[in-house]
Amino acid sequence: NAGVMQNPRHLVRRRGQEARLRCSPMKGHSHVYWYRQLPEEGLKFMVYLQKENIIDESGMPKERFSAEFPKEGPSILRIQQVVRGDSAAYFCASSATGTGAQGQPQHFGDGTRLSIL
């Protein structure tokens, strides 16, 4: 009974390159969330997606960042033209239903640690 799977666990990129982070939700979960954690800080919400739809992207930077959750396959968080400030741990979470309305918890993956050289 696999949990939320994120890959890669560690990703190193040079400034200006693209970073692609993948997340497979728990089986039966159709709600996916992305969070960013800077060193010594809590997690900050980035984006909430359901299959093929972005529901809430209020935490996403307006430029260079995008997310998708296609009908088939994992959710992808894409960062174009990375800069040093993008270095962080990026966590994906999933839930079976809407967390707020139902009180259902989100289940987290182990994260992708992105380092920008």
Q: Which residue ranges make up the site for other proteins (CB under 8 A)?
A: 4, 6, 31, 33, 35, 41-45, 48, 55-56, 58-59, 91, 93, 95, 98-101, 103, 105-111, 113
Q: What are the backbone angles phi and psi of residue 51, rounded to the nearest 5°?
A: -50, 120
Considering beta carbons, is residue 19 or 31 the nearer one to other proteins? Answer: 31
Sheet with 65-68, strands from edge to edge, namely 5-7, 19-24, 75-79, 65-68
Considering beta carbons, is residue 31 or 114 the nearer one to other proteins? Answer: 31
Min dist. Cβ of residue 68 to other proteins (A): 17
The answer to whether the beta carbons of residues 67 and 76 sit under 8 Å apart is yes
Min dist. Cβ of residue 98 to other proteins (A): 5
Considering beta carbons, is residue 18 or 103 the nearer one to other proteins? Answer: 103
